[in-house]
A and B are shown apart, each in its own frame.
Chain A
Amino acid sequence: MLKEMNTLYQKSLFLLIIFISVTIAKSQGLYYMQFDPVSSATGLTASNTMAYAYNPSLFTNVDVPTLVLSVAPSRFGISELSPGFVMLGLPVSDDFVTAFSGHTVGNSLYNEFSGSLHGAYSISEFMDIGASFEYFRLSIQDFRLDVSYQFHIGANVRISDLISAAVCVKNINGNHYLGGEKTINQAGAVGLGFHIAQDFTFDLGLQVSTMGQSGISLAGLYTVDDILNIRLSALTSPRIVSGAVSVLAIPYFDINLLSSYQDYLGWSNSFGLSVYFGKVDE
């Protein structure tokens, strides 16, 4: 009896996790959405280094070797839905940065894992380009094991001292799981960022997904004395509001706390730690 209940519980949990995973990220990648659901294409309102994974050209902002660890425990109150993220950014030269990242969510029953290699290059004083290669694996115990390989590209243009524009395309090669030809998840985002004041930036973005969840995003970042970043953001579809605080605790570490509310699924929180192996330019 107890065993049957456990099986029933596992099946229910399994279905719930799949449902939520699909709702959040429409599966096949886009893991960063699970940490920062209102990502910024320009990166101007990025409250920590992890946000650069959204648009690989933003990795040119990594000036020193950087390690990022992040976890979102019990998303929407479900302990099994606790994704973890690790990223290492390595400047190779003044113009070129490479980065590695990994992400996992799930348990022995349902598990998603992705590993990415990123590269970003400043092709001029005004423009950066970047690309990522992502290996993505989905496993469901005793049911299926699927793998996809995706390329993401991005570019960032500094139009003036006050304005930046950026674009990124996810899964430009249109890869998909077996049998997923009719529902390939590809996404693109274009954004415009504004330096309103020395300590305040905001950006306006358009996120377009071939899975139907497309919307407009708005985010603002306020910096207090170069040690505290406060970010507020909103997305129209799915409807999400999000707040983040990032504290540069001591010169080589910062701590990031993010909380977001989706009108359909509820609250979710994440915690991150960034370690800088060198002095961060102010």
Chain B
Amino acid sequence: MNKWLIILYLFFVPVYTYPQEYDETKLEEVLELFAIEYDLTIQIDQIEALIQKPIDLRTASIDDLLLIPGISPGIAENIVSNMKKNEYKSIIELSDEMNISDEMLYILSLCTYISEEKKRARKHYFYARGRSISRLSEIDGFERDKFKGDKLSLYQRYNLYYDGISSGILVDKDEGEKKLNDFMSGFLALEYFNSKLIVGDYSLEIGMGNLFWKSFGSRKGSDVISPALQWGSAIKPYRSSIDADFFRGAAYENNIPISTNNSIKARAWYSNIDRAGTLTEDNIITSIYKQGYFRTETEINKRNAVNEQCFGGSMDWQSKYFTIGATVARIEYDKGLQTTSKSNFNGKDGFLKTVYFISNIKDISLGSEISQDAHNNTGLKIGTQLVKNDYMLAAGFRSYDADFRSPFGYNFGEQSYPSNETGLYFAGTWKKYKTFNVSTYVDFYKSKQQTYYVPFGLRGIDLFSEIWWKPYRKTEMRLRLRYEDKSNSYTDYTLKQKLTYQKIKQAIRLDIRHNVSTRIYLRLRGEANAVLYEKGFDDEVGYMTFFEMGWQPIKFLKIGGRFTIFSTDSYESAIWQYEYAMPGYMTTVPLYGNGTRAYLFLKTAPINSIILTLRATYTRKNNVETLGSGYLETLNNKDIRAYVQLDIRL
């Protein structure tokens, strides 16, 4: 009953005003810069929040700009100093001066404005979103009655902002889950003068992320510069449906000016939340469950397995040229955690401590953070950037003890959690010409101890280059090359032991987008990879090509689709593909085996405040009986899904 009331409510809310619109296909390309093979939902949520409440570049601080995905301290400092020196009337003028890439210009135009533009400085808004995804193919979980709930998948989000006060409620049910509010999240945030208070669900970004960061940060990708020096900006309301790594309670932040160039930023927080996990008969938690699905009896039994309390505070001294700060947090569980995963806490309670600094002097930024976990294991991160109009350089170093446990931290490196890894990263971007630039990075890394997959520790080199060229105003090309040499292991059943080997993966991708007119675009891509094994397996290859078109026949209607053909020898040579599924929702699809994948979408805004998006996807593979695995395994070789989303913005 509840769900129908909510759906009816979504349809009948009165509408008045103008929605901020963006080109979702362009956003897909832009977001793809931040990562190669990972989820980007958090970044989309953040961009959408900023679209609703954009930042005025005329008054923005570096911390404000760091809220924007893809903006690093060096770039933020450059923007702030350029805005102070010049009387830009538009973001394009700023972009021309700084030689900002098209992608960053696009993000800035969505998330910021200049006071003189007077375009979007709204004092209040209401935003509601409802989304449902239906799997039209039968899957194993329902067929064998493993799922306790019905097939409905429904995501609902409501956000309200009124002159410094913002609030949000998120209610989510995945297919197979029992209740419409299987996951609920909400917040109330107040921002007045220099202080911010959040009650409800929030995330923390502190220092360079050794201890506290949002659940997904930037990954290695074609934005090679900014991730090398990630700098936490603030406490933030939690807006995602990912049921992990957020806090529930209250957080307060105050920026206290001391003099013209000096201020103290203080934060304090308290969180009390039940986490899902695997509980043994001995009342021990052996793992924290972060997938967020509660469909089967086993999954439901993991729910609320352990209570976690976390409280802490931090204090940053911000001066004109540097910021230095320290954070201490205490974490307490009501049951002992004996976890093997290094992304989980180990023990029952303890203090997490960290100190960090960053300096921005002219075009150079340098940051570092050194942290200790509850067992005095150490993590160190150093990053630097040089940001010039014609080129940018970056370097980063990270080293975490093998047993460093930082349950809310984030690592920009080979693993996403900061533990058991030492690495050195170098990157550069040459962007002398507005229509041509080259980016490259190289990352060397090794683990200090064995990992889950590799018994003797892993080592690797990751080399990436991308050339972007815009020969004409309407056409963009992107050529990407990647080389990765990484340890892996296999079990030799004759010797009855695991053996390690090096696996080399080489990949090349060509992506072309052509805007036929303002209403029609074409995009095509070809990608190939080769996987070469030092021993143990035969070498592999993988190929993929897609063809995509979008058309806006009338102002309030967009239609389009993509058709992909792929052929790979196995999952090892899989090719990953981003898809901007719906506004605010992006999926990453690994394509392997031999088959095709297609999707069609329709987006319409019949009146200004309502956007309706429909989408259908179809995946089929040759010579297999089923697709997927586990409970989501289909009963034949096709996977068909339908998506519908309604956005209401007032």
A binding-site residues for B, Cβ under 8 Å: 123-124, 126-127, 153, 155, 157, 159-160, 163, 165-169, 172, 174, 181-184, 186-192, 206-212, 214-216, 237
Find out whether the CB atom of B547 lies under 8 angstroms from the CB atom of A169: yes
Chain A hits for B514, CB < 8 A: 126-127, 157, 159, 165
Find out whether the CB atom of B565 lies under 8 angstroms from the CB atom of A183: no
* Closest A-B pairs by Cβ, 9 of them: A190-B526, A188-B565, A206-B526, A167-B524, A214-B543, A214-B567, A188-B545, A208-B543, A160-B471
B287-310 Cβ-contact flags toward A at 8 Å (1 or 0): 000000000000000000000000
Complex Cα distance A18/B537, Å? 32
CB closest chain-A residue, reference B598: A172
Find out whether the CB atom of A127 lies under 8 angstroms from the CB atom of B637: no
Find out whether the CB atom of B528 lies under 8 angstroms from the CB atom of A216: yes
A-B pairs with CB below 8 Å: how many? 107
Find out whether the CB atom of A182 lies under 8 angstroms from the CB atom of B545: no
Chain B hits for A126, CB < 8 A: 472, 474-475, 514, 516
Main secondary structure of the interface of A (DSSP, over half): strand
CB closest chain-A residue, reference B618: A174
Whether B38 sits at the interface, judged by CB under 8 Å, is no
Chain B hits for A159, CB < 8 A: 471-472, 475, 477, 512, 514
Chain A hits for B563, CB < 8 A: 169, 172, 188
Find out whether the CB atom of A208 lies under 8 angstroms from the CB atom of B544: yes
Chain A hits for B477, CB < 8 A: 159, 165
Which one of A124, A184, A206, A208 lies within 8 Å of B517 (CB-CB)?
A: A124
Whether B157 sits at the interface, judged by CB under 8 Å, is no
Complex Cα distance A163/B514, Å? 13
Chain A hits for B525, CB < 8 A: 190
Complex Cα distance A141/B622, Å? 28
Q: What interface size band does chain B fall in? A: 35 or more
Chain A hits for B131, CB < 8 A: none
Find out whether the CB atom of B565 lies under 8 angstroms from the CB atom of A211: no
Complex Cα distance A174/B621, Å? 11
Do A184 and B567 contact each other (CB < 8 Å), given the known contacts A155-B524, A155-B547, A206-B526? no
Complex Cα distance A169/B624, Å? 22
Which one of A167, A191, A210, A215 lies within 8 Å of B547 (CB-CB)?
A: A167
Which one of B512, B596, B622 lies within 8 Å of A183 (CB-CB)?
A: B622
Complex Cα distance A237/B541, Å? 11
CB distance from B545 to the nearest CB of A (A): 4
Complex Cα distance A127/B524, Å? 13
Complex Cα distance A185/B516, Å? 30
Given contacts A211-B622, A237-B541, 4 further A-B contacts (CB under 8 A): A127-B514, A169-B565, A190-B526, A206-B543
Which one of A167, A190, A211 lies within 8 Å of B594 (CB-CB)?
A: A211
B612-624 Cβ-contact flags toward A at 8 Å (1 or 0): 0000000011111
CB closest chain-A residue, reference B474: A126
Which one of B510, B512, B516, B566 lies within 8 Å of A208 (CB-CB)?
A: B566
Do A210 and B596 contact each other (CB < 8 Å), given the known contacts A126-B514, A184-B622? yes
CB distance from A194 to the nearest CB of B (A): 13
Whether B409 sits at the interface, judged by CB under 8 Å, is no
Do A208 and B545 contact each other (CB < 8 Å), given the known contacts A126-B475, A190-B526, A192-B510? yes
Whether B35 sits at the interface, judged by CB under 8 Å, is no
CB closest chain-A residue, reference B567: A214
Whether B104 sits at the interface, judged by CB under 8 Å, is no
Chain B hits for A190, CB < 8 A: 510, 524-526, 545, 547
In residues 541-555 of chain B, which contact A (Cβ within 8 Å)? 541, 543-547
Q: Mind listing 27 A-B residue pairs with CB under 8 Å? A: A126-B472, A126-B514, A155-B522, A155-B524, A155-B547, A159-B514, A165-B477, A165-B512, A169-B547, A169-B565, A174-B620, A182-B623, A187-B565, A188-B545, A189-B545, A190-B524, A190-B525, A206-B545, A208-B526, A208-B545, A209-B565, A210-B595, A210-B621, A212-B594, A214-B541, A214-B543, A214-B567
Find out whether the CB atom of A157 lies under 8 angstroms from the CB atom of B526: no
